[in-house]
Structure 1
Amino acid sequence: MTVFRAYDVRGVYGTELTEDLAERVGKALGSYLADGKITLGRDTRKSGPSVERAFLDGVLSAGCNVDSYGVLPIPMISFETWKGSYDAAAYISASHNPPQYNGIRFRTAEGYGMLYHQTEMMDLYEKGAFREGEGRKTDRSPEDAIRRYADYVEGKLDIERPLRVVLDMGNGSACGMSLLYQRLDFDGRVINGEPDGLFPGRGPAPTEESLKEAAKKVVGARADYGVGFDPDADRGLVIDDRGRIVTPEKVAVILAKERYGPGDKVVAGFDCSMIVERELLPLGIEVIRERVGDVYVANRVKKEGAVLGVERSAHFFLSEFQLSDDPFAMSLALGEVISRGERLSDLADAIPDYPYIQKSIRIEGSPAEVMRRLAGDLASLEPDATDGLKICTEDYSVLIRPSNTEPLIRLYVETAGGDEDELVERFEGIIKGALK
């Protein structure tokens, strides 16, 4: 499988993602930017310094100048890129993948995800048509970047009482971010706060299972809430004061209700719960669906002038802060809401829960051909084909889409009618029928 994915370069370090490939990617980006200037950062993976050096060699050899921040969350790199008027950003990380993976991510001059396949970069990579030059590297302080960000967001917040928050840094790039919460007078209780690219504390992916220790800490410390971050800290999963995970969709609904209003737009990933529409449309807030993928959602937020974007995988985009996915901005805006007096658990419980079932069906042959057959079989239900096939009724939603990484068709069923088992059986049967 190619390491050149829809919105980043990613693979197993040493076999799929090598120093030679990283250097060539660097040459391609540097050539595309033509004497430009970029920011560069990375997470805590063991292979990070080696991949970073190789990528840096490539960028510099094409005449591009680089300001390097070392280990720093990608939202901070995005902020520095935007506020510092850089031409782009690059980041060495494989996001929530296991430690043996690494990758290279890209940001635009405004700090949000770059759809690099839509630029000349890949054409330059494939042709080997690289510029030659002598770029300059300048080392920048990650702590100074965090302070600048703290000064910026402080002016956008009105937190009415002191808050206690548990921060599960996951041994990743978020480990230095307690400085932000200290500057804003939060009582931050940190766990898994030692940088370690093997992610020994709870693994790289924040999930309900992996955040059990953080959830206990929230309850034991009588904290107002908690947040668990992934290695590059572009995702944040929220824990309420009772130690329960609050789904990203519920967090988005709470923020939209408390912070925004009629006429505003919210962009939701295609696989997000239907509670987003059910809760926000009656308030006059427009909900726009976008295909799955944080870079796609980021670009749609920018295009639509939306106030908020959310993905089921816990990416949040609050454009009043910046266009990048930014779980720190999310956590601070949520803190402002909680500081007014209501408990997060009560706010979350005021939003209904619907059964949401995910199933995977293994296939042989072309996923595109299977999806073509399914489109015919489901035509009478008029599915939305933005990303796979999605059927929405007043009582349920069904999404069928191919996996981006495995030979699987994924089925997502959500219902308010208590008939989830019947719906799963019905649509799983339709999918299996299309495989024959």
Structure 2
Amino acid sequence: GAEITDIGIASTPTLAHSARRYDMGIMVTASHNPARYNGIKLFNPDGSGFSIKQSEEIERNMEGKVAPWDKIKEVRSHRMAISEHVNSILKAVPMPEKDIKVVVDCCNGSTGMITPYLLEEMGCNVVALNAQPDGRFPAHEPEPVEENLNQLKNAVKASNADIGIAHDCDGDRIVIVDKKGELIPNDKMLAVLAKYTNERGKIAVPVNTSLSLNSYLPNAEIFRTRVGDIFISEKLKEIEGDFGGEPSGTYVFPSFSYCPDGIYAAAKIVTMWGEFDIEKEIESIPRYHMIRSSILSTKEKIADGMEKVEEELNTFEYDKISRVDGIRVDMEDAWVLVRPSGTEPKIRVTVEAKKEEDAKNLHDDVIKLIKKGIK
């Protein structure tokens, strides 16, 4: 019996932007997952994803009554959502101060219908790759990670572009390639965006975020949450925060929306590129050595293994232990996070240290503990 408005093919941030005029938004997408997957994302009017509590309530009501046939309302069509999203961004983000050439890899997703157009409206010279929506993702897998960026890297170098941008297929993620065709680490891009937004502000990041953020922004208040954009948004609302983000390339700008918005972030980054030397700024960020890996297992073994791993990690010489998401052990100039994946039967491991050798040794030790625990 609900009143439905169909906005057509659009990015997730566009859907979240439109939802502010409704009671909720529903997005059909598997985001960065391979073509064989599909899913549904639910949004509140402020752009934040549904909380676990809200999702559980829906699950409890799945077997409830449906509306009788004569109470089912018509589906309305609205095809201005993309232009409305673009106009809102143009009002919120200043134009770049110089001409910028940008290559955008839209990953055959819905961002092909908005990001190139937005950046052209901002005065950029835009080269668009894979801008035709195609759910088979013929160019490459839809996750914007190093192994899927070769086409973008080559295009940036071949066209002498200033910057390369890659989205996942629904546009809540963004990663950046510099003019040399090299990927800028997401942790460092997160740090620069945080500084540009408010270097003395309140920032929400997940527990797997680099310590370089703390070193780079000593005057900021940094809050660590569970991994996942809904937890970032929840924390930002709780603390009335200025900026949030994840090392996966999702960034939340509360002054605009509580939805991770890779489209808005693209505009913000292009403007930054016109104001100062971002590549030089990136070099000023304190260097840490990080290793991320995962171990595939079964849910049953993972549950038992996590208990055993936690017992072993408790024996480490540590400064602090956090159980916000899995277990994170902070030591002098190093830390390790071990947590079960929220979407796959894997245990994810993140290790970081000041020295590369220390990071490798710590990672090897923890991997041995996990393999022993899940036997």
Task: Give me the TM-score of the superposition, normalised by structure 1.
Answer: 0.79
Partner of 1:359: 293
How far 1:179 moved relative to its partner? 1.9
Structure 1 position 163, deviation (Å) = 1.9
Q: How do 1:27-46 residues align onto structure 2 when only pairs under 5 Å count?
A: none
Report the CA distance between 1:405 and its aligned residue. Answer: 4.0
Structure-1 separation of matches of 2:345 and 2:272: 43
Q: 2:104 aligns with which of 147, 167, 177?
A: 167
Give percent identity, aligned residues only: 27
Cα distance per residue 1:215-264 (max 9 Å; x no partner): 122222222211111111111111112211112221121122233132x1
1:71-150 correspondence runs (5 A)? 71-82=9-20, 84=21, 86-115=22-51, 117-118=53-54, 120-125=57-62, 127-132=63-68, 133-141=71-79, 144-150=80-86
Structure 2 vs 1, CA of residues 69 and 289 (structure 1 numbering), >3 Å: closer, same or farther? same
Alignment of 1:258-407 (within 5 A): 258-262=196-200, 264-280=201-217, 282=218, 284-342=219-277, 344-363=278-297, 365-380=300-315, 381=318, 382-407=320-345
Structure 2 equivalent of residue 424 of structure 1: 363
For residues 35 and 194 of structure 2, what CA distance do their matches in structure 1 show? 35
Which letter maps to 1:226? G
Structure 1 CA distance for aligned equivalents of residues 348 and 133 of structure 2: 35
Return 5+ residue gaps in structure 2 as ranges.
Answer: none
C-alpha displacement at 1:266, in angstroms?
1.0
SS at match of 2:224: strand
How far off its partner does 1:377 sit? 2.7
d(CA) in 2 for partners of 1:369 and 1:172? 39
Deviation, structure 1 residue 116: 5.3
The residue matched to 1:101 in structure 2 has which SS? coil
Corresponding residue number in structure 2 for 1:27 = none
Q: Select the structure with the greater relative contact order (CA < 8 A; seq sep ≥ 6).
A: 2
Give the drift of 1:433: 4.3
Deviation beyond 6 Å, 4+ runs, structure 1: none
The 1:407–1:69 alpha-carbon spacing in structure 2 relative to 1, beyond 3 Å, is closer
SS at match of 1:358: strand
Distance 1:73 1:431 in 2: 38
Alignment size in residue pairs: 365
Render the CA deviation track for 1:201-222: whole Å, top value 9, x for unaligned: 1221111121111112222222
Counterpart residue identity of residue 377, structure 1: E
Deviations 1:57-110 (A, max 9, x none): xxxxxx11111111100101111111x2x0000011111111111111110121
2:374 and 2:135 mapped to 1: Cα distance? Answer: 41
Q: Which runs of 5+ in 1 are unaligned?
A: 1-62
Across the aligned residues of Structure 1 and Structure 2, the Cα RMSD in angstroms comes to 2.0
For residues 181 and 408 of structure 1, do their structure 2 counterparts lie closer, same or farther at Cα, with a shift above 3 Å needed?
Answer: closer
